[in-house]
Amino acid sequence: MSQTVRTRPEGSGQPLSEAYDTALLDLDGVVYAGGSAIAHAVESLGTARGGGMHLAYVTNNALRTPDTVAEHLTELGVPTEAGDVITSAQAVARLISEQVPAGARVLVIGGDGLRVALRERGLEPVESVDDDPVAVVQGYGGPELPWGRFAEACYAIGRGVPWFASNTDLTIPSARGIVPGNGAAVEVVRIATGAEPQVAGKPLTPMHRETILRTGAERPLVVGDRLDTDIEGAFNGEVDSLLVLTGVTDGAQLLAAPPRHRPTYVDADLRGLLTGQPEVVEAGDGFRCGGWTATAGSDQLELDGEGEVLDGLRALCAAAWTAAGAGSCGLDGGKALARLGL
């Protein structure tokens, strides 16, 4: 995939699980929300794996270790080995190891995922600035992370210690709703210090590099629910992507997406891995997908027809993205989305 301006979702005559050798799956909002599997995820992943697709789980959440994530997935009904899990903790640990001496001490602001990843790279995690760390790394520490840990990071940064962050997702989905993510915690330290961290996670290239190194994927498909991490990460890595609407992205955000946030494919959930994708074609002044035709009016997007909801959304994406070109669509798509129930 070249980094050209995408103006419509693409079609696929093959099931995506056959067209790509490896699915690089986000977790939160794609496979599970909180501790529970998302509808259709377990069955869809099992079918894709049974058909020969390699499944790798790529998460910006640095709290849990690959072993813990694999155990959780297996309990949900998705058999997984630790080697199938790639975390932003692993990506940031590699980034740090390339800049500090072997065996160096690193101050950890976060959970066990960071500590395990640092040890894997031959670094020593420590808990206090008084341990003379040569770097400080910050990752999601869960809702119980003490406020004093942010102060510890500030003390280290104030002494000139380089600061690294696993990721900067401002929010994450939970079973009860959207909650602050590591990016919100990073902002606390940024405001207090005026410093800028080196970031490893999606959508940046250290995470993509870590994923390819660990999976050996040749025809990867990124599968995610976030435009600003999963889809932009695929764009930066020049690979195709599937957006599923089971997490944080809604229809309005998708229609307004700038080029780097426009997915190759759009589907409701992980069942989209098992099917081909319908083609969006030009139709007069607009675009048609299935039984729907979408056009861009002077101030709003218009939708006519009937049929599958996702076909209507795909047609609307083509109308919105074409009208926006290399920018973000400013047309009102509220009535059209309401007609689709989105």
Position 27, amino acid = L
Question: Given 21, 28, 267, 332, which residue is catalytic?
Answer: 28
Amino acid of residue 13: G
Question: What's the rounded Cα separation, in Å, for the pair 86 and 64?
Answer: 11
List the one residue out of 206, 209, 204, 235 whose CA is nearest residue 222: 235
Q: Which of 21, 26, 131, 299 is catalytic?
A: 26
Q: Is 28 annotated in the active site? A: yes
Structure tokens at 302: 């218009």
Catalytic status, residue 267: no
Angle ∠(67,150,132) on CA atoms, nearest 5: 80
| Closest residue by Cα to residue 255 from 307, 339, 178, 324 | 324
Calculate Rg over the CA atoms of the chain: 21
Q: What is the 3-state secondary structure (H, E, C) of 80-115?
A: CCHHHEEEHHHHHHHHHHCCCCCCCEEEEECCHHHH
User: Which residue numbers are catalytic?
Assistant: 26, 28
